[in-house]
């Protein structure tokens, strides 16, 4: 059974900590991006999310949002938690990051 509670690290060095998973599947935590060149102001940022009811499957889907401190950006992650044959849990996720646009004409370049 795959549960998100605990510490996770990505292949690129990003670190995520998920605090206790609620009975309703909701969770909160913190996110620290991996090494970024030239930006010493990057701070751990809060995250909020939810995980599919593990009663529906042993490898549940999840989503969470990171609200970046000191930046006008939000990132949304959507993925699934897998349990390998050796019992190791792995997260696979896609993400979208949105920056604030100055005007509707600049909207096209605000999402990555």
| Residue 19 vs residues 3, 52, 85, 108: alpha-carbon distances, Å | 11, 16, 26, 35
Q: Answer yes or no: is 112 within a domain.
A: no
pLDDT computed for residue 38 by the predictor: 53
Query: What digits encode the pLDDT tens for the residues 86-104?
Result: 989 999 999 999 998 999 9
Is residue 9 over pLDDT 60? yes
Name the domain count of the chain: 1
- Its pTM stands at 0.83
Residue 71 structural domain:
6-34+42-106
Q: Answer yes or no: is 1 within a domain.
A: no
pLDDT computed for residue 36 by the predictor: 59
CATH number at residue 29: 2.40.128.30
Q: What is the 3-state secondary structure (H, E, C) of the chain?
A: CCCCCEEEECCCCCEEEECCCCCCCEEEEEEECCCCCCCCCCCCEEEEEEECCHHHCCCCEEEEEEECCCCCEEEEEEEEEEECCCCCEEEEEEEEEEECCCCHHHHHHCEC
State which of 12-21, 29-38, 52-61 shows the largest mean pLDDT: 12-21
pLDDT computed for residue 58 by the predictor: 79
Q: Answer yes or no: is 98 within a domain.
A: yes
Query: What digits encode the pLDDT tens for the residues 34-87?
Result: 775 555 556 789 999 999 876 777 788 999 999 887 778 899 999 999 988 998
């Amino acid at each position: 059974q795959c549960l998100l509670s605990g510490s996770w690290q990505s292949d690129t060095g990003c670190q995520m900590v998920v605090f206790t998973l609620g009975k309703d599947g909701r969770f909160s935590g913190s996110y620290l991006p991996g090494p970024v060149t030239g930006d010493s102001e990057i701070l751990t940022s809060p995250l909020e999310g939810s995980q599919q009811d593990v009663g529906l499957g042993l490898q549940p889907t999840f989503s969470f949002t990171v609200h970046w401190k000191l930046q006008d950006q939000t990132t949304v992650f959507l993925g699934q938690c897998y349990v390998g044959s050796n019992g190791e849990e792995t997260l696979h996720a896609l993400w979208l990051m949105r920056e604030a646009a100055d005007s509707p004409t600049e909207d096209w370049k605000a999402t990555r």
